[in-house]
Amino acid sequence: MKYLKYSLFILILTLFVIPMNIKAATLSEFKNELNSLKAKQAENESTKKKTEAEIAQTRKEIDSIMDQIEELNIQIDELNADIEARNQSIDKMKDEIASIVHYYQVTTVQNMYYEYVFNADSYTDFIYRFAITEQLSDYREKTINEYNRLIEENKKKVEEISAKKVELSKLEAQAKQKYDSLNGQLTGITTAGVSLKDEIAEMEKKINTYQNTYKCSDTEEISACVYRYNHPNVTKTTKGNHNITVASSSGFYLPISYWTKTYPFLHHDKGFDLSTPEGQEVHPVADGIVSEVWHHYKCGGNMIWIVHNVNGKKYTSAYYHLKSYNVKIGDSVSHNDVIGLSGGIAKGNSYNNYDGCTTGPHLHLQLANGWYDPNSLFAGSYSGYYTFDNNSFNPVNVINF
């Protein structure tokens, strides 16, 4: 789990590429975003209703097709019964035709035919017998024709019903496929609707807080009015109250909002000291992850190192002589977060009984190329403090003090 956690930190860190000339969001921008979310929600509801109507219509089509298939099955049963009855008639006709054929086979001898007709007792009997032979001939022809007609009719009905059943089965499959597809779409639309509803509720809550609690105006930067709310007694001066929410062109931010003097670190030109009263809020110079924390170090006091990815490049920032701190190794921090309070007063004064390298309240800030990572949280980092020190450069090169 430890390695998984650090892997996630690495992923988060790669996203912290600060855009140049960033501008904080205003209440008006939040309201515009809320209106956009509500428009999307309305569009989502309209799409949902249309999809539900299509699903209902498709369900009706499926029911209609199923009714037709059921009716067809009844017709098939009736036709089977009819075919059975016709088969019985056909079997009977076969017997009759066999008798007729037998008779004609017998009467094909001319003498026998004549014998039957001319052995009449009278002229009337002669006419009767002649008529009988003609009727038998007609009956034979009609019977054979009816036999052939019934066979052909049964065959045609079976073919028609079979074709109709295949057609209905295809329509049923298509309708069910459409029904399943629409249901899948509806699930996605409903899920999106729930998400939009949550986003709208969260945005409304945020706007309400900024508007009613922090008293932000529509055009005021949110960070500015929140800072004003949290620091009601700060007096603005020419030297102090710098805007830490505006990035420099290189993508770095100021670490504190108030100082009276800046000067290079006395031991080498790679560090930078800001003279500031004890207890000032200290912020990261960019979004990043805490890679190291030293507590009550004998020369530096409370110290924090944070690794960053700014405009695609790796950096490490360090903050020394802190009176207190509220982060730990592995924490993800934003440039707006407070990571500690400034200290740096001389040893033996107030709280300071451990940091012997200070002569007055100030913040020591240091920046280095690459990631200083003694805890091996990230790949491609270095663990030696002296490597960090050697990679350091003057913060004024990238931060507008």
CA atoms within 13 A on the CB side of 336: 12
Shared domain for 267 and 143, answered yes or no, is no
Shared domain for 293 and 334, answered yes or no, is yes
According to the model, what pLDDT value does residue 398 have?
A: 87
Shared domain for 34 and 177, answered yes or no, is yes
Shared domain for 187 and 254, answered yes or no, is no
According to the model, what pLDDT value does residue 313 have?
A: 92
Burial class (CB in 10 A: 0-12, 13-18, 19+), 280: buried
Show Cβ contacts of residue 344 under 8 Å, excluding neighbours closer than 6 positions. 278, 301, 320, 321, 323, 355, 358, 360, 361, 362, 363, 364
Q: Which range marks the domain in which residue 196 is found?
A: 27-210
Beta strands 301-310 and 288-297, pairing class:
antiparallel
According to the model, what pLDDT value does residue 357 have?
A: 83
Domain count, the chain: 2
Give me the DSSP letters along 95-141. HHHHHHHHHHHHHTSHHHHHHHHHT-SSHHHHHHHHHHHHHHHHHHH
According to the model, what pLDDT value does residue 311 have?
A: 87
Whether 303 is covered by a domain: the verdict is yes
CATH number of the domain to which 387 belongs: 2.70.70.10
**How many other CB atoms sit within 10 Å of the CB of residue 333?**
20
Whether 231 is covered by a domain: the verdict is no
**Helix, strand or coil, per DSSP, at residue 343:** strand
**How many other CB atoms sit within 10 Å of the CB of residue 77?**
10
Report the distance separating Cα 348 and Cα 129, nearest Å. 153
- Residue 73 Cα distances to 156, 239, 260, angstroms: 17, 94, 95
Looking up tokens 């009706």 gives: 60
Report the distance separating Cα 244 and Cα 246, nearest Å. 6
Asked if 247 and 18 touch (Cβ cutoff 8 Å), the reply is: yes
According to the model, what pLDDT value does residue 340 have?
A: 94
Whether 352 is covered by a domain: the verdict is yes
Shared domain for 178 and 122, answered yes or no, is yes
Tell me the pLDDT tens digit for each residue of 325-358. 999 999 989 998 999 999 988 888 878 888 888 8
Count H helices and E strands in the chain, helices first. 6, 10
Shared domain for 305 and 156, answered yes or no, is no
According to the model, what pLDDT value does residue 308 have?
A: 94
Shared domain for 42 and 168, answered yes or no, is yes
Shared domain for 276 and 374, answered yes or no, is yes
According to the model, what pLDDT value does residue 72 have?
A: 78
Nearest to 320 by CA among 353, 286, 367, 287: 367
Shared domain for 380 and 282, answered yes or no, is yes
According to the model, what pLDDT value does residue 283 have?
A: 95
According to the model, what pLDDT value does residue 365 have?
A: 94
Nearest to 303 by CA among 287, 313, 292, 311: 292
Low-confidence ranges of the chain (pLDDT < 50): 1-24, 108-114, 117, 233-239
Asked if 303 and 284 touch (Cβ cutoff 8 Å), the reply is: no
Burial class (CB in 10 A: 0-12, 13-18, 19+), 31: middle
